[in-house]
Structure 1
Amino acid sequence: MHIAILTFEGFNELDSLIALGMLNRIKKPGWRVSLACPEPRVTSMNGVTLEAQCSLADAATADAVLVGSGILTRQIAADAALMAQLKLDPSRQLLGAQCSGALILAKLGLLNNLPACTDLTTKPWVQEAGIEVLNQPFFARENVATAGGCLSAQYLASWVIARLEGVDEAQAAMHYVAPVGEKDEYVARMMRNIGPYLNLRSSL
Structure 2
Amino acid sequence: MHIAILSFDGFNELDCFVPLGLLNRLKPMGWSAELCGPGGMVTSMNGVNVQLQRPLEWANEADAVWFGSGLYTRAIAENSALLDRLQLDPTRQRFAAHGAGALLLARLGLLGEVPACTDGAARPWLVEAGVRVLSEPFYARGPVATAGGGLASLYLMAWMIWNRAGEPTARDVLGHAAPVGQKTEYIDSLLAQVRPFMATLTASGPPTSPPPSPPTSPP
- 1:156-171 residue pairs with structure 2 within 5 A? 156-171=156-171
Task: Confirm or deny: 8 A CA contact 2:23 2:31 kept in the other structure.
Answer: no
CA distance in 1, matches of 2:200, 2:4: 22
CA contact (8 A) 1:143 1:201 kept: no
Are 1:150 and 2:126 an aligned pair? no
Offset at residue 89 of structure 1 (A): 1.6
Structure 2 matches for 1:50-199, cutoff 5 A?
A: 50-199=50-199
2:216 maps to which residue?
A: none
Report which of the two structures shows the higher radius of gyration computed on alpha carbons. 2
Deviations 1:42-71 (A, max 9, x none): 001100111111112111110111111101
Q: Which has the higher contact order (CA 8 A, sep 6+)?
A: 1
> Gapped runs of 5+ residues in structure 2?
207-219
User: By how many angstroms is 1:29 displaced?
Assistant: 4.9
CA contact (8 A) 1:22 1:154 kept: no
User: For residues 138-172 of structure 1, what are the alpha-carbon distances to aligned partners after superposition, in whole Å with 9 as ceiling and x for unaligned?
Assistant: 10001100010121011111211111211111011
Equivalent residues, number: 204
Query: What residue number does 2:6 align with?
Result: 6
Task: Letter of the 1:45 partner, please give it.
Answer: M
Separation in 2, partners of 1:200, 1:39:
39
Identity %: 49
Amino acid corresponding to residue 146 of structure 2 in structure 1: T
Structure 1, unpaired ranges of 5+: none
TM-score (norm 2): 0.90
Q: After TM superposition, what 4+ stretches of structure 1 lie above 2 angstroms from structure 2?
A: 199-202
Aligned-residue Cα RMSD (Å) equals 1.2
